Amino acid sequence: MLLNQFLLLSAVLFAIGVYGVLARRNGVLVLMSIELILNAVNLNLVAFGAFRETVGGEVFALFVIAVAAAEVGVGLAMVLLLYRNRRSIDLTQIDQLRG
């Protein structure tokens, strides 16, 4: 089995996700980029699981999906509240915690 292709695809996904998190100003898009990062990790987990012929990888991936669903739920709720309060979801403008 060719592991490298999966890992390369995963790395690309991860890099795109990181880019999205750091570069996008829209809160919803940042959340989506986080999903990309998580799915890159899931891909890795499933690939390694298949490579080593254990079920552990899939189990971990399932956990990550469940947690990610919860995380997106909380994240979208936050974005919604942000929008209601400020009429904007631009993350660069939210800097009240500046020291």
Partner 1 sequence: MTELFTIAASTDGGGLALGITEGGNWFLRNVWLIPLLPALSFVGILFFGKRMPRGGSELGVAALGIAFLLAVVTGAAWVDHRDDYHGEEVHRAVVVHDAHADAHADAHADAHGHPSLAVHRTATWFQTNGVEFTIGTLVDGPAVMMLLVVTLVSLLVHVYSTDYVHGDRRYTHFFAFLSLFSASMLLLVVSENTLQLLCAWELVGVCSFVLIGHWWEEKPNSDAALKAFLTNRVGDMGLLVGVTVLFFAVGSALPDRFGSFSIAETNALASSGALSHTTLLIASCCLMAAVMSKSGQFFLHTWLPDAMAGPTPVSALIHAATMVVAGVFMIARMYGVFFEGFQIGGSSINLMAFIGGLTTIVGACLAFVQRDIKKVLAYSTISQLGYMVMALGVGAWTAAMFHLFTHAFFKACLFLGSGSVSHAVHSFDMKSDMGGLRKHMPHTYRTFMIGTVALAGLPPLAGFWSKDEILVGTGGWGLLGGTGGNGAYTLMLGMGMLTAALTAAYMTRCVYLTFFGEFRGHGQPHESGPRITVPLWILAGLAVVAGFVNLPKGFQMAPGSLQERFGHFVEPVAGYFPAISHGTPSWSLAVVSTLVVVGGIAASGWYYFVKVEAASKVAGTSLTELPDGPTTKYPLARMGHTLLANKYYLDHLYNEVVVDGTKGPVARFAYRINQQVIDRTVDLVGETAVKAGVVVYEKVDQLVVDGAVNASGSASSATGEELRKINSGKVQSYAAILFAAATVLAGVLIVIV
Residue 17: CB atoms within 10 A of its CB come to: 21
**Residue with tokens 């986080």, as numbered in its chain:** 34
Does residue 96 interact with partner 1 by CB under 8 A? yes
Contact between 18 and partner 1 by CB under 8 A: the answer reads: yes
Rank residues 4 and 92 by Cβ distance to partner 1 and give the closer one: 92
Beta-bridge partner residues of 90: 26
Pair 28, 77: CB distance under 8 Å: no
CB of 25 to partner 1, least distance (A): 8
Interface with partner 1 in residues 63-82 (CB under 8 A):
none
Q: Using CA atoms of 70, 61, 37, 85 in order, give the dihedral in degrees to the nearest 10.
A: 0
User: How far is Cα of residue 81 from the mean position of the Cα atoms in its chain?
Assistant: 21
Among residues 55, 85, 87, 99, which is the contact residue for partner 1, using CB under 8 A? 99
Question: x/- site string to partner 1, residues 31 to 70, per CB under 8 A?
Answer: ----------------------------------------
Question: For binding to partner 1 (CB under 8 A), which residues are involved?
Answer: 18, 21-22, 30, 91-92, 94-99
